[in-house]
Amino acid sequence: MSDTSDNASSPAGPATRGSGYVHAPNRREALGALAASLVLGLTACSGSGTQPSRTGPGFAAGPLPPGAGLSAGSAGPVSRPSAAAPKVAKPYVPDFQLPPVRDGLAPVLTSVPTRHPVVFLTIDDGITKNPAMVALMKSHGYRASLFLTRNFVRGNPDFFRELTSLGSVVENHTVSHNTAMVAELDYAGQLAEIAGMQDYARQVYGRSPALFRPPGGAYSTTMRRAAAAAGLKAVVDWKAKANAGRMDYQVGNALRPGDIVLMHFRPEFAADLAAFRQAHLAAGLEVVLLEEFLGVL
């Protein structure tokens, strides 16, 4: 039941974008930036000495619009809420559009290519359940994507309802957390692991997860196909971890805009969250719910 393989850090991938963004509180500019979508960071799957079956980039990127380079830093759209604000309930108009399932394969995200000063918190597994965790999340106003494993949470699903009532969202981290599933299970076996958690989450938490995180982080084309077949919109890995009370970065030594951060429900939750908090504040980044930013809530 140990989850140590999620600790297996991925070596740094290539840095694909700068952190330049410019405050430009102009909604028209922000909307204009919607056209500038893709990708860059996504193919930097920074992968993985420990992740055996990566098969190429997360998805085939469409052509980048001119000036879509993320390090350009010229358009930095940061919108303020306004009367005509879109239904996205947050102060940032997304400047990235999640690619659709293509050829039956769910796209893969390890970070979100955005110019906005945001980071995304994800918390995995669900083995340790301590009311102090809920209190900490509440005190900081954090909302996170909770990649839960059915067999770890079904003894006390109500614990996670306390977090969803604060705005966090339950996502899919399989039925049994087999970190070797990408190598050991065929398509049908992987689909069963993923679809079983879809069913559980829908029945218990009232929403079908949109995002899938592979146990340990390793994925393959077969897994991407199974995730899409189970109704998931993306496979989500990470760029940085809060672990053992400190931050581990795949690239550089600080959080960057769009980073997806991995944590776990572990006894050291408070220390990990403190490390994460120090890091995102030091980087001037706000914690935003990934599902809202991607429009998959």
Residues that bind Zn ion (CB under 5 A): 3, 6, 124-125, 215
- Token reading at 286: 């706000």
Distance CA 266, CA 213 (A): 17
In the complex with Zn ion, the residue whose CB is nearer, 43 or 51, is 51
Residue 260 β-bridge partners? 120
Query: Would you say 58 or 215 has its CB closer to Zn ion?
Result: 215
Look up residue 146 and give its amino acid: L
- 75 vs 123, which CB is nearer to Zn ion? 123
Smallest distance from the beta carbon of 85 to Zn ion, in angstroms? 36
State the Cα–Cα distance between residues 119 and 263, nearest whole angstrom: 13
Residue (of 98, 104, 216, 221) closest to 149 by Cα position: 216
Nearer of residues 13 and 215 to Zn ion, judged by Cβ:
215
Do strands 246-249 and 240-243 pair parallel, antiparallel, or not at all (unpaired)?
antiparallel
Q: How far is the CB of 120 from Zn ion (least distance, A)?
A: 17
Q: Which C-beta is closer to Zn ion: that of 152 or that of 205? A: 152
Residue 265 Cβ vs Zn ion, minimum distance, rounded to whole Å? 10
* Nearest distance, CB of residue 218 and Zn ion, angstroms: 11
Least distance in Å: CB of 216 to Zn ion?
7
